[in-house]
């Protein structure tokens, strides 16, 4: 099962987006767990649950480079597009996250 975890200031508004993304994944029978958390828990969540993709909400855009520097070697990091976030477009965000995961996997295979 793949884990896609969203992080924002409190984890509240991203919970709705995560729920919509999970609904899309479930509809397509994709083995994916999508959850939202406060950015204050990112270290603990990454250490304990080892997500496959880290998504940051637009409201914590200021953290993006710091999160990339710390985690992106092991776990791809993406900033959620502000328009997709505003529309709570779970399908679009899920597609972008899965594309990011696919690209990372292909890069890893090319390096071997």
Residue entry with tokens 């597009």: 81
Read off the pLDDT of each residue in 97-104 and give the average, rounded to a whole number.
Answer: 96
Rounded Cα distance, 59 and 22, in Å: 21
Q: What are phi and psi of 34, to 5 degrees?
A: -125, 120
Question: Could you give the domains of the chain?
Answer: 2-105 (3.40.50.2300)
- For residue range 19-33, what is the model confidence (pLDDT) as tens digits? 999 999 999 999 999
Helix (H) or strand (E) holding 22: helix 13-27
Which tens digits make up the pLDDT trace of 56-96? Answer: 999 999 999 999 999 999 999 999 999 999 999 999 999 99
Q: Identify the active-site residue in 8, 17, 34, 60.
A: 8
Task: Answer yes or no: is pLDDT of 11 > 80.
Answer: no
Encoded tokens for 1: 């099962």
67 is catalytic: no
């Amino acid at each position: 099962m793949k884990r896609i975890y969203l992080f924002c200031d409190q984890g509240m508004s991203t919970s709705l987006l995560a729920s919509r993304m999970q609904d899309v994944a479930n509809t397509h029978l994709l083995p994916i767990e999508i959850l939202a958390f406060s950015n204050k828990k990112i270290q603990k969540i990454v250490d304990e649950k080892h997500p496959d993709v880290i998504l940051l909400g637009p409201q914590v855009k200021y953290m993006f480079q710091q999160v990339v520097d710390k985690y992106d070697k092991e776990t791809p990091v993406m900033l959620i597009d502000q328009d997709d976030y505003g529309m709570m477009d779970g399908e679009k965000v899920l597609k972008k996250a899965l594309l990011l995961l696919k690209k990372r996997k292909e890069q890893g295979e090319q390096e071997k």
